[in-house]
Each structure stands twice: as C-alpha cells, then as structure tokens.
Structure 1
Amino acid sequence: MLDGIDRALIHALHIDGRASFTQLAGVLAVSPQTVSRRYERLRDDAALRVVGLPDPQLTGQEQWLLRLTAGPETALDLAHALVRRPDTSWVYLTGGGTEIVAVLETPLGMAHGHSLLLRELPPSVGLTAVSAHHLLHTYLGWRTPWRMSANALTARQQRMLGAAAFAGYDGMPPPARRRPVHLSPADHALMEALRRDGRAGLGELASGTGWSPATVSRRLDQLRACGAIFFDIEIDPALLGGSVRVLVWMAVAPAHLDEVATTLAGHDELAFVAHTTGPTNLVAHALCRDTTALYHYLTHGLGSVKAIRTLETAPVLRTLKAVGTLR
C-alpha cells in the first residue's frame, strides 16, 4: 500500500523527474535518506520508473495508434514482436487476448509508416486484421499525468519544484515560439539513455554521447527549456486505484469534438484522451478501481456526454511495454 509520502514523491517526480533527493526532501519535508529509501522501494515494489521522452512534434516524429488482430495461438508472439521494436510504445494485449494495441512513431511526413511496420513483422505472427489511426492531437496524457497519480502535493509544494512545471507539468514555451529542434547523433544517444533511465547520472549519460558531463548538463537544460524533451513516470496503476484498465474508442461529430475531448480530459477516470483519424475519432484510456466503478463511469460519466455517438470498449489484459526503452 502507498502512504502519503509515497504519493507525494510520485507526484513530485511527475513535475520534475530529475529533481535531486535533496530537492525532493525539501518539498516533502522529510530527510534525503527517506526519499532515497522510498524511491528504491517504489522501484522494486511498484515498478516505478522515471523516463525522459522526446516531444514528437518538435523532434520530427509523428505518432500512429495501431490495432492489430491475430489468432489466439499467435497474438502474444505478435505483441512481443512489437515490444522488441525501438519505435513502439504502449503495447497492450486487449479484448479477448487476440487484439494488440500499440503506439508507433515514424519520421514526420512518412504517411504510410504503419505499412512499413507491417512489412517488417515476421510472417509467422498470423496477422488477420489491422487498422491505423494517426494521433492528431493529445488532450490528456504524455506531458500531462493521470490526475490520480498527481494529486498529493499542495500548490505551494508544486511551486517549490518550479513555476513552469507548476503551470501544467509542461516547460514548453508558448505555441508561437515553438520551433522544431535539430538533433545530432549525440542528442539521439542522450535521449535514448534517458528513455532507459530518466534519472541516470551525468557521467552515465556522457558515456554514451562522447560529451563531457558538463556538456551533457548544458545540452539537457537546453532540450528541456525548448520542450524537446520532457520527463514522465511509469508505475503500476493498480496501486493508485486503477486496477481495471479499458481503452475506449468513440465517434464524435467534428463540430463537437474539441468540446467533448476537453470535457473528458477533466475526468479523474481517464489517463489519456486523444483525437485520431478513422471512424472512431476519439480514444481514451480509462483506469477504474473495479468493474463496478467502470460501469458507473461508462453509464454516468461518458453516458452523460450526449455528443458521443458511438462507444466501444476494449479491456486491457496486459501491458507489455510502456513509454520507456526495454530494460
């Protein structure tokens, strides 16, 4: 079970995943040794992990949400084939265990990037159906954490971790000042190391880039300041009240899409809301305490949003890969 200090530490790491134990201790009003012990215990018992992630739009990438179906005897093999790819994240086994949902990142402008992925899959996976949905706009998720994993700190404690972060867990400059960022091979190596461990020391990060620790520190500050990289955490959602996980596919009239998506982004039960291409143009990830809570949310939470024309649910049976690189 998580206590108040655990939850406060998780919330703090959402705001600044690279804050030192001393900084975190000052915010949580405990000793650095306590923070260190709690962090290590959460890593061991709750699968806590801090990961550094590139912003796709600023680093020349676009994202696709793939739904793939295979026979019951090969679905897991297909899922593991996707897990091993460096350009995938959030690989889920859903439905009755024959559908896999994954996020794929491709270079910007590669309109048929998902087709490239399918050509590279081994023929033995027995793929029977696929649909690809271009992620056009994310309303909740990625930079903005699930509300139930980031609700433990006071406004003052959040400000202590940085005014920019407090404004929305997002250090990005205003939209008018956002510019694509050219990444060197060393930048890519740095980002890959941070995707493995967002709290890796400067010496460890330097070893993969050819830079000095001081250069790594400066470059990391630059990438964070312009929004090209941000930090997220992975953790077992069941410990935070998300034992039942469901993907929700919705169809909404375009005239109401922004209003509906903005409304859903304020629901405590949702960890992800995004606008996609395809016959279902809105997708969400719901995390509920149990099936009773899920039923109540589907009938009273989503059910009260009249502009949702159709709704399909797919229970998440297993999360095979999250946002970080496989360890």
Structure 2
Amino acid sequence: MLDEIDRGLIHALQTNGRAPYSRIGAVLGVSTQTVARRYNRLRAEAGLRVVGLPDPQHARRAQWLVRLTATPQAAQDLAAALARRSDTSWIKLASGGTEIVSIVHTTPSDGNTLLLHDIPRASGITAVSAHYLLHLYVGGPSAWRGRAKSLNPQQEAALRTSTTDREAARSLGAGDRKLLAALGQDGRATLADLAVRTGWTAATVARRLDELQQSEAVFFDVDVDPAALGVTTSAMLWMSVPPSRVDGVARALAEHDELAFVAATTGRTNLVAHALCASPDALHTYLTERLGALESVTALETVPILRTVKAAAPFA
C-alpha cells in the first residue's frame, strides 16, 4: 500500500507528467532525492509508468470500445495479439475470461483495418460489438479522481504548464509522430533521448514539446497497479439512459471517485463506465446506493474485469 508521499507523487505526475523532481519535491515538501527514490521504487513495485499520448482530435483519431466474446483459451490468445498492436489500448479480460474489452484507435488513412478486416477473420470469436466513443467525461486527459486526491488546488497550480497558445500545434508532422511514439514508451524520457528518437536537436525537442503541451495536442497519463491504491474489484458498467438525460447523468458520474472512465457511446447502451472498488461489497454498495440513486439509468449490465492485459501505453 502507498503512503501519503507516494500518492502525492502519483497525483503530481498525473497533473504534469514531465514535472522535474525538484518541482514535485517543492510541492510535496520533500527533497529531490526522495522524489527520485520513490519514483523508481513505484516503477519497480507498482508498475508506475508515465506516458505521453496524442489528443485524439489533434491526431485525427477516432476511438472505438470493442467487445469480443470467445472461448477462454481463444480469448487469452486474442487479447495478447491485440495488445501487441499500436492501435489498441486498455485491453481487459472480463466475464470469466470469455470476453475482451479494448479501445481501438482508428485514423482516416488506416481504413479501419482492425475493425473491418483483422478482427472478423480471427478464429474463436463468437460475438463482436463496436461502440464509437462520442464523448469522454472521465479518461484520457481527465484523470481518475481516485488517484488524484492528494494535492490541493494550489499545489496542482504550481505543477501545471501554461496552455495559453492553443494554435501552436495545428498539425502533426513526421517528426511529431516519432516524438509521440517515444513519449508513448516513456513520457519522462530525457530531451537527449527524445532527440535521438526524432533526429532533432535537444533544443528543437524542447521547443516542440512545449508547443504540443501548450496547445494540449499531447497529454500525459499515469499507469499504476490499482491494487497499490487498494483496489481489488473492477467492472465495466454498460448503461442505458434516455438521450436527453445522457449528458446530465454522465456529468454526475464524472464526480464519482469510483469511476476511472466514463464515456458516451453508440450502440444498444449509450453510457459506459469503468468502476474500481476496494472489494466486491464496495462495488455492490456503489451500484445499489450511488449509481442506483440516478433514476435516469434505465438498464445496467455489470461486467467484472479479471485482468488488464494492456493499459494506456504500448508495450515497451
């Protein structure tokens, strides 16, 4: 389990993934050496990883939440194969190991290859449904509140970078794609390492990275083992809500600390969330009391998550 400094460090990295150890230490009231030591320990023991990811709108990427049903052995093999792809993230085994839930990223140039060609030809799949992500309420640049509760607003402000110049990164070039690929592997890579990956000078990397952050074309996410935060039970929640109530219900759900992801989607259900709870009993309490208090939720399917095969970042 994590202590107050560990949780503060994770919150700081979620606020600014590339904040120097010295700035994080000043905000937390500890030394630079303590921050570096805690960061390295969390990487080794809790799977802590900071990744830089492109904003889907700037990168012209659409996102789909795909549900695949297969036999248990086929599901595990398929999940592993999907995890190796660069156009997937947040791959989870669910429903006793017979269902895969994954986010698939598509662009106009790829022709939706995975959705239209690769998945339908995979053996062992018994059912497929694809849900277009229309709007994210929690997830992506919006951090899960469960790991972002340690710092006060003044501490967060001391860590944030300015985002005044939203036109600084109007389009992404070939060099930007190399930079984003490197940040996807390690969001805290040094300028020297990023220069090697892009072929730019360190000064050019620093300037372009600042532009991408200023315009919010890139954001930094944090991967960490939920068990280190006391989470033992997680589930996908597929909800049906009258169209006129979707935004109101989703905004209410976005205030729930138990939900790490909330999105409006297409499909038979129109809202989906990912719940993280301390125990099965805690999930039951959440479903019956907090979620149950939202009368506009007319139907709910709860799908337990067994294992996360791939998180936000590509495999190193």
1:203 equivalent in alignment to 2:201: no
* Partners of 1:241 and 1:287 within 8 A in 2: no
Q: Which residue of 2 aligns with 1:71?
A: 71
2:138–2:263 contact (8 Å) kept in structure 1: yes
Which AA in structure 1 matches 2:47?
Answer: A
**Is contact 1:89-1:322 (8 Å) kept?**
yes
Letter in 2 for 1:268: D
Aligned to 2:20: 20
Aligned-partner residue type, residue 290 of structure 1? S
Q: How many Å apart are 1:117 and its aligned residue?
A: 3.5
Deviating 4+ runs (over 2 angstroms) = 115-118, 120-125, 177-181
Deviation at 1:72, TM superposition (A): 2.0
> For 2:58, what is the secondary structure of its paired residue?
coil
1:133 and 1:124 map into 2 onto residues whose CA distance is: 19
Deviation at 1:101, TM superposition (A): 0.5
| Aligned 8 A contact 1:17 1:231 in 2 | yes
Aligned to 1:139: 137
Match of 1:157 in 2: 155
Q: How far did 1:37 drift? A: 0.3
Question: In 2, Cα distance between the equivalents of 1:100 and 1:109?
Answer: 26
Q: Aligned-pair distance for 1:155?
A: 2.3
Distance 1:70 1:9 in 2: 40
* Structure-2 residue corresponding to 1:5: 5
Which residue in 1 is equivalent to 2:216?
227
- Structure 2 match to 1:194: 183
Structure-2 separation of matches of 1:119 and 1:293: 41
Say whether the 8 Å CA contact 2:169–2:212 is kept in structure 1.
no
- TM normalised by structure 2 equals 0.95
Tell me how far apart the structure 2 counterparts of residues 68 and 45 of structure 1 sit (CA, whole Å): 31
| Amino acid across the alignment from 1:26 | A
Report the TM-score, using the length of structure 1 for normalisation: 0.92
Rounded to whole Å, the distance in 2 between the matches of 1:130 and 1:99 is 10
Q: Is 2:240 the counterpart of 1:251?
A: yes
1:240–1:44 CA distance, 2 compared to 1 (3 A): same
Equivalenced residues, count: 316
Aligned to 2:192, the other structure's residue is in SS state helix
1:23, CA displacement in angstroms?
Answer: 1.0
Report the CA distance between 1:139 and its aligned residue: 0.6
Report the CA distance between 1:123 and its aligned residue.
Answer: 4.7
Query: C-alpha displacement at 1:73, in angstroms?
Result: 2.6
1:318 alignment counterpart: 307
Q: C-alpha offsets along residues 99-143 of structure 1, whole Å, 9 cap, x if unaligned?
A: 001001111497x72x64452259563111100000000011111
Q: Using the TM superposition, name which of 188-197 and 125-134 deviates more.
A: 125-134
CA distance in 1, matches of 2:109, 2:194: 30
- Shift in CA distance, 91/295, structure 1 to aligned 2, threshold 3 Å: same
- Secondary structure in structure 1 of the residue aligned to 2:187: coil
The amino acid of 1:12's aligned partner reads A
Q: 1:144 to 1:30 in 2, by over 3 A?
A: same
- Unaligned residue ranges in structure 2 (runs of 5+): none
Q: What is residue 101 of structure 1 aligned with on the other side? A: 101
Q: What is the SS of the residue equivalent to 2:73? A: coil
Percent identity of paired positions between Structure 1 and Structure 2: 53
What SS does the aligned partner of 2:314 have? coil
- Matched residue, 1:168: none
Q: 1:292 to 1:59 in 2, by over 3 A?
A: same
Distance in 1 (CA, whole Å) between partners of 2:184 and 2:312 is 8
- Contact 2:90/2:308 (<8 A) preserved: yes
Separation of aligned partners in 2, 1:314 and 1:85: 24
118-127 or 289-298, larger mean C-alpha shift: 118-127
Tell me, in whole angstroms, the C-alpha distance in 1 between the residues paired with 2:73 and 2:32. Answer: 49
Equivalent residue, structure 2, for 1:213: 202
What do residues 281-316 of structure 1 show as CA deviations (whole Å, max 9, x unaligned)? 000000000011000001011111000010001111
Please state if 1:38 is matched with 2:5.
Answer: no
Q: Which residue of 2 aligns with 1:130?
A: 128
Q: Which amino acid aligns with 1:220?
A: L
Which SS does the other structure have where 2:298 is aligned?
strand
Find 1:289's aligned residue among 242, 257, 278. 278
Q: CA deviation at 1:160?
A: 1.4
Structure 1 Cα separation of the partners of residues 30 and 249 of structure 2:
41
